[in-house]
A and B are shown apart, each in its own frame.
Chain A
Amino acid sequence: DAMVIQNPRYQVTQFGKPVTLSCSQTLNHNVMYWYQQKSSQAPKLLFHYYDKDFNNEADTPDNFQSRRPNTSFCFLDIRSPGLGDAAMYLCATSRGNQAGTSTDTQYFGPGTRLTVL
């Protein structure tokens, strides 16, 4: 029944060592989002895809990249993780209404908790 799947659930990496987080969905949704959530804070949008169109938030560091090779999968690459990148990373999807309204519900994965040593 899992609709948005994130792997791994927990990731430990070393300072400066590249890491990739993955997200897959079984909903066939057009829009996929990556959020960073630090302790006791709201999720912060890093970027999103509408289909293959990539949209980067203005304040997302260059250290963060993303790939969406097909509808079902989306990856978050952190090229050189710093201590400040330790956080929960949430993937979400939404249908992406062609009429352009935003009544769509976002469906979230369980998150990947990243620890940087």
Chain B
Amino acid sequence: AQSVTQLDSHVSVSEGTPVLLRCNYSSSYSPSLFWYVQHPNKGLQLLLKYTSAATLVKGINGFEAEFKKSETSFHLTKPSAHMSDAAEYFCVVSPSGGSYIPTFGRGTSLIVHP
């Protein structure tokens, strides 16, 4: 069994300040972990993914995430928020071992103030 917990439903930051979106997971197998972004009325776009290579993963638009097995976490960060980062972010876990069915977190809405 697997699950994902996104610890914050909303995160509000000022433009130019750091972003932290938190994600904890549980999985019976060595998981693959993903962060997707969804802008209003759009589909989901992959930001980055972890697949058991480097624990610090760099993605698009300046985002990165660090896989911490001991803490079962995969938090998403960005040093400096931009207005265009305002969107919904989903943390997703996908197990190894033959399943193609990922599990989504409930999402975190990132609000960026001027």
Quick one: given A42-B90, A102-B95, A103-B32, are A4 and B100 in contact (CB under 8 Å)?
no
Number of B positions contacting A (CB below 8 A): 27
Give the 4 A-B residue pairs with the shortest CB-CB distance, closest first: A108-B43, A100-B98, A102-B94, A42-B104
Size band of the A side of the interface?
Answer: 20 to 34
Quick one: given A4-B43, A106-B102, A108-B45, are A101 and B96 in contact (CB under 8 Å)?
yes
Chain A residues contacting B32 (CB-CB under 8 Å) are: 101-103
11 pairs from A and B in contact (CB 8 Å cutoff) = A31-B100, A42-B106, A43-B90, A45-B101, A100-B98, A101-B32, A102-B94, A106-B34, A106-B46, A107-B46, A108-B45
Main SS of chain B's interface residues?
loop
Chain A residues contacting B44 (CB-CB under 8 Å) are: 43, 90, 92, 106, 108
Chain B residues contacting A100 (CB-CB under 8 Å) are: 96-98
